[in-house]
Every structure is written in C-alpha cells, then in structure tokens.
Amino acid sequence: MATYTLYVDWNKDGTFTGTNEDVSADVLELEWERGRDRASQLTGRFISGKLEALLKDTTGKYASFNSASPLYGSLLPGRKVKLDVTSGTTRTVWTGFLERIEPQPEIKDFQVARLTAFGPLGYLSQKQVSVPMSTSIRTDNAVGTVLDQAGWPAADRSLDAGKTTMTRWWTERRDVVNALREIELTEAGFLLETKDGKIAFENRHHRLVEPHLTSQGTFSDASGASLTYREAQQIDPLPFVFNIFEAQVRIFSVGSLAVLWTHPETGANSPLVRHAGGSITLWANYPNPDSPTDAFSVDAWTTPVVTTDYLANSASDGGGTNLTSSISVAATKFANAMKLVITNNHATLDAYLTFLQARGTPVTQSDPVRVEAEDTPSGTAYGERTYPQPPEWLPNTDEAQDWADWHLSIYKDAIPFMEVAIPASRDTAHMAHALDRDIGDRVRIVANNRAKLGINRDFYIEAERHRVTPGPLHEVWWMLSDAEEFSDFWVLDTSALGTTTRLAY
C-alpha cells in the first residue's frame, strides 16, 4: 500500500522540517494534476498544475482567524507545497505553492478545511513583465528572460536549446503566462511544470529522440493483461483536424536617431516637480498618434540629455530661475516605452518641467508576408479547417513555410486522442506506472478487445490527474495524444539515415 506525505512550508525557510509542516495526518482526500489543457500537442496549452487536499480540522488549526491555532499568521498564500508518495521508494509527485485554505466547518458534524495549491506557472500568473527589444534571440533564451523578469530562480528551470532564433522579440506589460505562450507557439515546443517544481521548456524535437521513441508500458483491455485500465474514452478527433495552416512574417527596419515623443503639456500646464527630492514619473510611448503609420517599436532609446531633452524653470512659462541643472532623470527602457523618473534636487525651489522629449531609433514594420500550406483532399473530406492561432515571431518566410508544412503533414487527417483511467492502487506494477510516468512519456494503449475501438498504438501522456480517496484508493487519468504520427520524422545528427521518411522541421 502507498503512503502519501503532504508538506507545507509554513515558515518559508525553504525546508519542510518545521513544526506542523507535515500535514499528512490530517489528509482525508487528495487530487492533483499537471500538463496541457487538451490532449493535442498543437492546440493544447500548458496550464498551471493544481493540488487540492481535504483536511481534517477538528481543532480549527487551519482557520486563518483562529488566534489559538499553532499556524496563526502563517496560513498565507505563496507557501511552498510538496507531495511525496512512498511505494517501495519515495517519489515527489507534485510541487507548487499554496493558494488558499478554506475552513468548511459543520457545527454538528465533522470539521474540515480545503487546501488549494497551484504549480509554479500559476504562482507567476499574476505577474506582468516588460522585456526590452532583443535581436537574434533563441526561443529558450527568451523564455529565460521572461522568467528572470518574473523573479523565477535559475536553479528552478530546465530549458532545452530552442530550434528557432527570432529576428526581433520583446514583450510589453504582458502577464507571464501569455508572454511564455507566444514563445512556446513560435518554437512549436512545450512549457510545463516538473514534479519537483521546476519550469521546463521542451523544444520541438524533444520527443523525436529517446526515451520518447520507446513505449514505457502497454495498457490493454485483453483478458489476462498484466497492465490494464478501468476506463478508456476516445476523444473526438475532429476538433484537431486542420488542413490550412497560415503564418505571417513581419520584416522590421531600423531608422535613424529621431525625436519619438514630446511631452504635450507646456506653459501654464507644465508639470510641477516639488523641491528637495520631489519626483514625478512619466512614460514616453512609441508609437503614438504623431508617429508614422508604419511605426512599430524602438530599437534603442537615448538616455535623456540635460538641456537637449529637458528644461526646467521656477516659473511655468519658462521664466524665473533656470533649474535645469537641478533636475535628474532616471530612464528605464522598453520596446514601446521609456519610463522617466524626474527628480528636483534643488533645496528650496519647485520646478516646472517646461520641455521634455524622448529620442531613439525607431523600428518600422513592412507589410506582413503571408505563407500558406493547404491539403485539398483533407478539405474535401473534412471541409476547410484553418488553424486559428499562428505563431507571433517566426523570423522569415522559409521558416514560416516549414512551420506550416510540418503541422499540415500531421494534422490534415484525423488521428486518435484518448483519455484512460489507470487503477493505481490495484497492485505495485500499476502504482509504479502511476507514480513514475511523466508528461511526454510514451505508452501503448490496446483498446480493440472489450473496448472495440480498433486502437493498438503508442500515445504520449499530455496531462495527468490523480485522485486518492479513503482506503486509500488511487486512480490516475491520462490524456493522450497520438505518438505514431511523430515516429517517422528524421532529425539531423540524431536519426539513423534511411530509418525514417519525413524530415523534421
């Protein structure tokens, strides 16, 4: 029988050895999940993992307003949560961060509390990032830059080297999840959370090499099968059929140094900056209503220069004492904006900012180039189905065409997708697979005996969802995408010549 150990780092010291940090004795039920929101590698997006635990709470230990609780003052979001399962050996199966604990008392009956935790991507989801423009940046380096801006530790990430180098890339005041998804789409890769709480990035060739070419176990509905499943459902494949792939490529040009923004308030409306260290914060944005129609972003902002880019006086009309030399400007530069913190260092005189401009080298965008790949027989069979979410940062038309052709070759016809339920607590072999299998692992599903689905092929695990109820009874549901459509791609410097038929993108 497996044992389940749930920890919460109440004191935030980075360990789980403190008083009351092992909450396992109070656990009544457990559920946890990781992976994509859909089985498809194309349309499925990474989502934050989630763990829920129903806790016995007869003493009010998990009530945040109960001052008698030994955890009073520590029942706060952001505490690290870890779940270990021991069955022969001990494995960490989920790691994330506490979101909330909700007491659910019943005055005449049992008192419980529900603990909810989210994975690392959920923990970062409310943060926004702005990244200055980069040129010739590989997708994994862009992922790393977003995580740096979000304050995610380098030790808690695992990033494959990207296969796509973006000509230009930036992100402006985007939440972390959407910024990462744009990069994931461009790479045709996958972002995920690992069981030990890291953020991982897999390039598009990640599953084209071992161990992803070999099934890690066969689960069958045949009589007497050593590994089986309780339930198998075929997921409707039609929403995942696409026979038209379109992509746009944007070509950028860098102009000469120019004035890109001028503060519109002058004269009596000139901004006031109080003396003795008073400051105001202004943003210079580009493009703006005065910009050319093809203006897109800024290659490099120029740090404001005294008298050239700003003037200050003690009178709003530009008269009085010239205070320009008493003004300091701190600039923070982004692709579409420059943040200006303007400070008046004069000891006694307030200053009016009578002139302020921002200079830089503008980036313009040409008319986009659109490429397309279409399969007519598929259109005849299924009707025209255009993939709705092309990537944002493909560097040139050659790569855009490769991107479209690669996906068309896989998704122009219906391929199987499945969801299976594995009875983990049936025996040690099923439990080992439930605990050891990971997102991206390859398994074989035989569903042509009792299930009568005519399926006997390999699949990739795209998502896992576990539930443990008293007994304990443990069941895991896997969402599965077809692996065999990915099995005949040839990867340069990896695959054996002549063993596969299609060149991988």
The pLDDT value given to residue 491: 62
Q: Which residues contact 19 (CB under 8 A, 6 or more apart)?
A: 70
Distance separating alpha carbons of residues 197 and 72, to the nearest angstrom: 26
Strands 128-138 and 112-118: unpaired
Contact 344, 331 (CB under 8 A): no
Contact 307, 289 (CB under 8 A): no
**Which residues face 175 on adjacent strands?**
128
Q: Token digits for 256? A: 């000469």
Name the helix (H) or strand (E) containing 183. Answer: helix 176-187
Q: Token digits for 372? A: 């397309």
The CATH number of 208-241+414-505, from 3.40.50.150, 2.60.120.10, 2.40.160.20, 2.40.30.150, is 2.40.30.150
Distance separating alpha carbons of residues 158 and 418, to the nearest angstrom: 28
Class of the CATH-defined domain 126-204 = alpha beta
**Cβ neighbours of 460 (radius 10 Å):** 20
Distance separating alpha carbons of residues 38 and 47, to the nearest angstrom: 10
Residue 400 CA: distances (Å) to CA of 124, 261, 388, 493:
31, 34, 15, 23
Between the CA atoms of 496, 218, 448 and 461, what dihedral angle is there, to the nearest 10 degrees?
-80
Distance separating alpha carbons of residues 364 and 294, to the nearest angstrom: 5
3-state secondary structure of 404: helix
In DSSP notation, 430-481 reads HHHHHHH--TT-EEEEEESSSS---EEEEEEEEEEEEEEETTTEEEEEEEEE
Strands, DSSP E only, in 223-322? 231-235, 244-249, 252-254, 258-262, 272-273, 278-285, 295-301, 310-313
The pLDDT value given to residue 449: 87
Strands 295-301 and 351-365: antiparallel
Predicted structure pTM score = 0.89
Buried b (16+ CB within 10 A) or exposed e, 320-341: eeebbebbebebebbbbbbebe
Mean pLDDT split into 10-residue runs, the chain, 505 residues: 95 95 96 96 93 94 94 96 97 97 76 96 92 93 97 97 95 92 95 97 93 95 94 95 95 94 93 96 95 92 97 94 96 94 97 97 90 97 95 93 94 96 96 97 94 93 97 96 80 54 67
Largest CA distance in the chain: 96
Sequence ranges of the domains in the chain:
3-118, 126-204, 208-241+414-505, 244-251+367-411, 253-365
Fold of the CATH domain 3-118: Thrombin, subunit H (2.40.10)
Q: Token digits for 309? A: 């880019």
The pLDDT value given to residue 501: 58
Distance separating alpha carbons of residues 476 and 490, to the nearest angstrom: 33
* Phi, psi (degrees; rounded to nearest 5) at 155: -70, -15
**Which residues face 234 on adjacent strands?**
418
Q: Token digits for 291? A: 């910009």
